[in-house]
Chains A and B, each alone.
Chain A
Amino acid sequence: MKLWMFTAAFLMILFAGLALRIPQLADRPMHHDEANQAYRFGTLLENGTYRYDADDHHGPTLYYLTLPIAWVTGAQTFAETTETTYRMLPVLFGMLLILCIPMLRKGIGATAVVAAALLTAVSPAMAYYSRFYIQEILLTFFTFITIAAGWRSLQTGSRTWAVVCGLSAGLMFATKETAVIAYAAMAGAGLLCAGWSRKLHLPLKNMLIAAACAAGIAGVLYSSFFTNPSGPLESILAFKGYLARGTGINTDHVHPWNFYLKMLTHYRFDGGPVWGETLIFGLGLGGCVFILLNRIPVKCDPGLARFLVFYTLLLTAVYSTISYKTPWCMLSFLHGWILLAGIGVASMLERCEKRRILKGLVVVLFLAASIRTGQLAKRTVGPYAADYRNPYVYAHTMPDFRNLVQRINDLEAVSAKGKNLYIQVIADSDEIWPLPFYLRQFPNVGYWLDADSLPTEPHPDIIVSSADVEMDPHQYCSEFYGLRPDTLLAVHIDSELWNAFMETRK
Chain B
Amino acid sequence: MKAQYKIISITALTVALAGSAVAEEMVKLEVELPKPLFAGTPKSIKTPNLERKPEVPEIMVPAGTENIASGKEITGSDDFPVIGELEYITDGDKDGADGFYVELGPGVQWVQIDLGEKKNIYALALWHYHAQARAYRDVIVQVADDADFVENVQTLFNNDHDNSAGLGAGKDKEYIETNKGKLIDAKGVRGQYVRLYSNGSTGSDMNHYIEVEVFGK
- Taking beta carbons and an 8 Å cutoff, which residues of A are in contact with B? 32-33, 36, 39-40, 53, 55-57, 252-253, 269-271, 326, 388, 394-395, 398-400, 422, 425, 428-430, 432-433, 435-436, 444-449, 455, 457-458, 467, 473, 477-482, 484-488, 501-502, 505
Contacts and interface: CB of A to CB of B under 8 A. Distances in A.
Given A398-B202, A487-B133, A271 B98 contact: yes
A486 B31 contact: no
Interface string B118-159: 000000000000001111000000000000000000000000
Contacts of B135: 480, 488
B212 interface: no
B202 A400 contact: yes
Given A446-B33, A457-B29, A484-B45, A479 B38 contact: no
Contacts of B132: 485-486
Contacts of A53: 38
Contacts of A457: 29, 31
A499 to B, nearest CB: 11
B54 to A, nearest CB: 12
A270 B83 CA distance: 13
B100 to A, nearest CB: 13
Contact of A502 (B49, B163, B201): B163
B38 A486 contact: no
Given A433-B36, A485-B203, A488-B134, 16 more contacts: A53-B38, A252-B44, A270-B46, A394-B41, A395-B41, A429-B39, A430-B42, A435-B36, A444-B33, A467-B133, A473-B173, A480-B176, A482-B134, A482-B202, A482-B203, A485-B132
Contacts of B62: none
Contacts of A479: 161, 174
Which of B40, B169, B174 has the largest count of A CB atoms less than 10 A from its CB?
Answer: B40
A449 B35 CA distance: 11
A57 B38 contact: yes
Nearest to A437: B36
B73 interface: no
Contact of A447 (B37, B45, B98, B133): B37
B43 interface: yes
Interface of B: 29, 31-46, 49, 98, 132-135, 161-163, 169, 173-174, 176, 201-204
Nearest to B169: A502
A505 B34 contact: no
Nearest 5 Cβ contacts at the A-B interface: A482-B202, A446-B33, A480-B135, A252-B43, A429-B39
Nearest to A443: B33
A457 B28 CA distance: 12
A484 to B, nearest CB: 7
A399 B174 CA distance: 19
Contacts of A458: 29, 31
A404 to B, nearest CB: 9
Nearest to A326: B41
Nearest to A327: B44
Nearest to B171: A473
A238 to B, nearest CB: 13
A488 B49 CA distance: 13
A489 to B, nearest CB: 9
Contacts of B134: 482, 488
A446 B38 contact: no
A457 B41 CA distance: 33
Contacts of B162: 501-502, 505
28 contacts: A36-B38, A39-B36, A56-B38, A57-B38, A252-B42, A252-B44, A271-B98, A394-B41, A395-B41, A395-B44, A400-B203, A425-B36, A429-B36, A430-B39, A430-B40, A432-B39, A444-B33, A446-B32, A447-B36, A447-B37, A449-B37, A455-B32, A458-B31, A479-B161, A480-B202, A482-B201, A484-B42, A485-B46
B161 A394 contact: no
B202 A488 contact: yes
Contact of B34 (A446, A467, A473): A446
Given A388-B46, A502-B162, A478 B29 contact: no
Contacts of A55: 38, 40
- Best-buried of B35, B42, B173 by chain A (most CB within 10 Å): B42
Contacts of B31: 422, 446, 455, 457-458
Contacts of B40: 55-56, 430
A447 B46 CA distance: 28
Given A36-B39, A429-B39, A447 B34 contact: yes
Contacts of A432: 36-37, 39
Q: Which of B35, B41, B49, B204 has the most CB of A within 10 A?
A: B41
A481 B202 contact: yes
Nearest to A399: B204
Nearest to B203: A482
Contact of B42 (A32, A39, A488, A505): A32
